């Protein structure tokens, strides 16, 4: 009997030893680096469980066993403590090392400085944001051109043209087009505050009227000093019932930025301010604060015309005769410039 018991104990010990060896081997193998790559990034979203993280790591090839990762997480008390964000890891790390690193706050990448200049259209703004901050330009254009999006953001216009406020922004890596749009339109409403809304109301202008006029001003004025003068010309022309005759609206109707030709002035578009009186249907660009203020506070003058002076500014005239002389001077300067 004693010999039988000894044999049983020996057998049990052998089985237990074998189990320990197998378990140790499993642990050793499960914890080995996957050899995935030299380095990689894993994105942990807020609220992800240990199992979801394990599956994500396994799908990426970063760990050998998702089950082993979950076991490690439970045994070491890591579950529920993993930090959301982008974690940069190394292919030489063991599963246990990866689990420990994922509990640490990942270093946030620096915000990207993006300067959106005044006078850009939706498409030009989208292009600038994609180039500098890698924001999807196609999605940005689609959203900013959507009337339903404009309505949800409290904007009374067919699109967000004019309301994507130009400024310098510090953009977080991974910012979505909608997040950027919301940020820019929120900024617009901070600038266009109650005092400007009251001024617009007293002038019998809607917010969209002001933004539309401001978008013409930024497209025509050569410098800050000219903004109120350009505004005055447009206000006076509207008061007299005369077309605004603004070349930038022709460019907007054509969808190109180039010199406007005589044959372009008859383009069939509601944005053609040579054949349609009053303001165009909506803004043609995104104006800044100085242009918005100029639209609401035109200069005290009696100008009715202006034309480029060939030096980055404009020549303002009160009569057609004065204007024609200025136009001839501009054309002569342009011809002379093209000869050199």
Q: Does the pTM of the predicted model rise above 0.75?
A: no
Question: What share of the chain in percent tops pLDDT 90?
Answer: 54
Question: Which pair of tokens denotes residue 147?
Answer: 């009337």
pLDDT score, position 222: 84
Confidence of residue 189 (pLDDT cuts 50, 70, 90): very high
Write out pLDDT tens, residues 103-151: 887 766 778 999 999 999 999 999 999 999 999 999 999 999 999 999 9
Write out pLDDT tens, residues 37-91: 567 788 888 888 888 998 988 888 888 888 888 988 888 888 888 888 888 887 7
Distance CA(284)–CA(219), nearest Å, equals 9
Write out pLDDT tens, residues 202-249: 999 999 999 999 999 999 998 999 999 999 999 999 999 999 999 999
Distance CA(229)–CA(320), nearest Å, equals 17
Where does the chain hold its CATH 3.30.1490.480 domain(s)?
Answer: 23-101
pLDDT score, position 28: 45
Question: Which pair of tokens denotes residue 3?
Answer: 């010999």
pLDDT score, position 81: 86
Stretch among 113-117, 234-238, 272-276, 330-334 having the lowest mean pLDDT: 330-334
Distance CA(151)–CA(162), nearest Å, equals 14
pLDDT score, position 20: 42
Question: Which pair of tokens denotes residue 90?
Answer: 């190394």
Contact 29, 23 (CB under 8 A): no
pLDDT at 31 over 60: no
**Torsion angles phi and psi, residue 271, rounded to 5:** -90, 0
**Torsion angles phi and psi, residue 213, rounded to 5:** -65, -40
pLDDT score, position 162: 97
Stretch among 5-19, 187-201, 283-297, 309-323 having the lowest mean pLDDT: 5-19
Is it true that domain 23-101 has CATH number 3.40.50.300? Answer: no
pLDDT at 338 over 70: no
Q: How many C-alpha atoms does 200 have within 13 Å on its Cβ side?
A: 20
pLDDT score, position 183: 95
Q: Which residue is it, tokens 């992800």?
A: 48
**Torsion angles phi and psi, residue 317, rounded to 5:** -135, 150
DSSP state of 281: S
Cβ–Cβ contacts within 10 Å for residue 281, how many?
14
Confidence of residue 32 (pLDDT cuts 50, 70, 90): low
Q: Residue 146 to residues 121, 160, 269: CA-CA distances in angstroms? A: 15, 8, 20
Instruction: Name the nearest CA neighbour of 110 among 139, 86, 130.
Output: 86
Distance CA(294)–CA(285), nearest Å, equals 15
> Mean pLDDT score of the chain, rounded to an integer?
86
DSSP state of 206: -
Helix (H, G, I), strand (E, B) or coil at 134: coil
Q: Residue 321 to residues 17, 24, 44, 70, 337: CA-CA distances in angstroms? A: 108, 98, 70, 85, 24
Chain-centroid distance of CA 5 in Å reads 78
Contact 176, 195 (CB under 8 A): no
Instruction: Name the nearest CA neighbour of 86 among 41, 37, 40.
Output: 41
Distance CA(289)–CA(100), nearest Å, equals 50
DSSP state of 248: H
Instruction: Name the nearest CA neighbour of 96 among 54, 52, 56.
Output: 54
pLDDT score, position 294: 97
Cβ–Cβ contacts within 10 Å for residue 306, how many?
22
pLDDT score, position 173: 85
pLDDT at 17 over 50: no
Stretch among 28-32, 171-175, 181-185 having the lowest mean pLDDT: 28-32
Question: Which pair of tokens denotes residue 232?
Answer: 């005055």
């Amino acid at each position: 009997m004693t010999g039988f018991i000894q044999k049983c104990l020996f057998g049990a010990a052998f089985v237990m030893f074998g189990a320990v060896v197998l378990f140790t081997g499993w642990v050793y193998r499960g914890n080995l680096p996957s050899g995935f790559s030299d380095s990689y990034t894993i994105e942990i979203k807020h609220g992800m469980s240990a199992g979801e993280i394990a599956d994500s790591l396994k799908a990426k090839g970063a760990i050998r066993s998702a089950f082993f990762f979950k076991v490690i997480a439970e045994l070491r008390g890591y579950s529920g403590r993993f930090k959301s964000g982008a974690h940069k890891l190394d292919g030489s790390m063991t599963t246990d090392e990866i689990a420990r690193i994922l509990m640490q706050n990942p270093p946030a990448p620096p915000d990207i400085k993006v300067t959106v200049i005044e006078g850009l259209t939706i498409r030009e703004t989208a292009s600038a944001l994609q180039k500098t901050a890698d924001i999807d330009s196609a999605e940005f254009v689609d959203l900013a051109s959507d009337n339903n999006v404009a309505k949800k953001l409290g904007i009374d216009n067919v699109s967000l043209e004019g309301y994507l406020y130009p400024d310098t922004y510090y953009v977080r890596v991974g910012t979505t087009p909608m997040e950027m749009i919301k940020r820019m339109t929120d900024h617009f409403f901070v600038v266009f505050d109650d005092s400007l809304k009251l001024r617009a109301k007293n002038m019998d202008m809607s917010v969209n009227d002001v933004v539309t006029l401001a978008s013409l001003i930024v497209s025509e004025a050569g410098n800050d000093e000219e903004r109120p003068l350009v505004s005055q010309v447009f206000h006076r022309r509207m008061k007299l019932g005369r077309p605004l005759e603004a070349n930038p609206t022709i460019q907007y109707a054509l969808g190109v930025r180039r010199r406007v030709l005589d044959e372009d002035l008859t383009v069939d578009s509601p944005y053609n301010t040579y054949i349609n009186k009053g303001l165009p249907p909506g803004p043609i660009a995104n104006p800044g604060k100085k242009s918005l203020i100029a639209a609401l506070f035109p200069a005290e003058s009696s100008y009715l015309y202006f034309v480029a002076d060939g030096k980055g500014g404009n020549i303002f005239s009160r009569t057609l005769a004065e204007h024609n002389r200025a136009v001839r001077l501009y054309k002569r300067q342009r011809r002379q410039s093209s000869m050199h």
